[in-house]
Amino acid sequence: MSDAVSVAGLVKTFGATRALDGLDLVVRTGEVHGFLGPNGAGKSTTLRILLGLTRADAGTALLLGADPWAGAPELHRRLAYVPGDVTLWPNLSGGEVIDLLGRLRGGVDRRRRADLLERFDLDPRKKGRAYSKGNRQKVALVAALASDVELLLLDEPTSGLDPLMEEVFRDVIREEQRRGDRTVLLSSHILAEVEALCDRLTIIRDGRAVETGTLAGLRHLTRTFVEADLAGPADGLAGLPGVHDLRTENGRVLFDVDTDALGPVLGRLATAGVRGLVSRPPTLEELFLRHYHRTGATASTTSTGSATSTGSTASTASAGESAEASR
């Protein structure tokens, strides 16, 4: 089976700004692929190139097996798109927009439309100018999800939605996932969302893919967080290879450890006598911080272990991580 999206060495400049700088991205057919990056990383530009709206300066892009620029209007029968910043026609009602976009794509599934309207709790009779940001987002989501298409391109689709609606969105995407015949490219800077939904993900920074793979595969590259309550002093722990950010709080030691150095470190802990131990894989947020912390950016300590704190931004990072981050 061919890939739904296959992008290699994509370059796009706007004047002096290099929005994409050799981006590679592969989305396999049938998967939900997370496209993760901070604001301004080049996510929307990539989607616009995939839609044939913007032309790349260099590199190749294939969408559903065809050139997105040359195949532009015809290819769009097979996909639906939710832009990052949804604006509606002020004098058209939400229902009219949903129907118009659906019909342009070749038809609206009435039952599905009604179902989605109910689940997203959206009044389709309001005029475009009367909707709040979240409701405009819902209009675009319903229009996209009610269409029977192969590929969904979603650009930060939950921005402006309240947590309840985010949950509805996740449920709907999970249903799509179970059906298995739809591919979803989900751009986001919300870690929990990608963590909850995506089979594979690509992390993009400054127009380049810095990491791509399954969530499990990425974790493999990263450290494990360990919190231990020790009977005695753990001398020499700091000197072991692969141990980072060692600190003591209330008599407990907390540190990060490279996965391949886990064995010797656990041995040393056992020697000291373990009364309690918490270890867990890094949250996506931690991965994220590692990749998006730029040298020179304001570094501050952030609390680890908060996979659900979706609001964290790239500018907060542990001071100790800057060395790896600027690789």
List contacts with another protein (CB under 8 A). Answer: 48, 51, 53-55, 72-77, 79-81, 83, 85-96, 98-101, 103-106, 124-127, 129-130, 140, 143, 153
Scanning the structure block, which residue is given the tokens 């002096």?
16
Closest separation in Å from C-beta 122 to another protein: 10
H or E stretch at 188: strand 183-188
Strands 17-28 and 3-14: antiparallel
* Six token digits for residue 3: 């890939």
Query: Considering beta carbons, is residue 5 or 51 the nearer one to another protein?
Result: 51
| CA proximity to 96, closest of 129, 139, 61 | 139
Closest separation in Å from C-beta 233 to another protein: 55
Closest separation in Å from C-beta 126 to another protein: 6
Query: How many beta carbons lie within 10 A of that of residue 129, not counting itself?
Result: 11
Query: Considering beta carbons, is residue 89 or 273 the nearer one to another protein?
Result: 89
Closest separation in Å from C-beta 117 to another protein: 9
Contact between 59 and 22 (Cβ < 8 Å): yes
Closest separation in Å from C-beta 59 to another protein: 15
Query: Considering beta carbons, is residue 110 or 280 the nearer one to another protein?
Result: 110
CA dist., res. 213 & res. 63, Å (int):
19
Closest separation in Å from C-beta 96 to another protein: 4
Helix, strand, coil % in the chain, rounded to nearest 5: 35, 30, 35
| CA proximity to 157, closest of 178, 140, 171 | 140
Where are the alpha helices (H) located in 162-238, listed in sequence order? 163-179, 191-197, 215-220
Query: Considering beta carbons, is residue 110 or 174 the nearer one to another protein?
Result: 110
End-to-end CA, the chain = 35
